[in-house]
Amino acid sequence: MQVYIQSQARIFKHRCKADIMAIILEAAANGETTKAKIYYRSFLTYQRLKGYLLLLEENGLIEYLKEEHLYKTTQKGIQAIQTYNGMRELIDLGIGNK
């Protein structure tokens, strides 16, 4: 599963919270992954990444497996990625029609 932003092979200078959260969720959606891999995929500072991971955990979108020190996107997180991708498609269709 690829997040729309990454599948378009472009990185935006200004990303909204939804863009960043989708990238983080996608990084952990292919199974269990380390914080370092999420860090490199998200292009965030370590401090900002910690804040987003906490927010995603509190909302049940990602889970931290303490014994393995790994992150995994939950089923709710997978649904959030799918909703996000649908939203991006609609926005891009609207922009393309102008």
CATH number of 33's domain: 1.10.10.10
pLDDT for res 13: 63
First to last CA, the chain: 29
**In order along the chain (98 residues), what is the average pLDDT of each group of 10 residues?**
43 79 94 93 94 97 96 96 92 72
Tell me the per-residue pLDDT of 20-42, one tens digit each, with 9 for 90 and over.
Answer: 999 999 999 988 899 999 999 99
Residue 63: both structure tokens together: 């889970």
What's the angle, vertex CA 28, arms to CA 22 and CA 32, rounded to 5?
A: 170
User: Domain tally for the chain?
Assistant: 1
Q: Which domain holds residue 35?
A: 4-96
Stretch (H or E) spanning 98: none
Helix (H, G, I), strand (E, B), or coil: what is residue 90?
helix
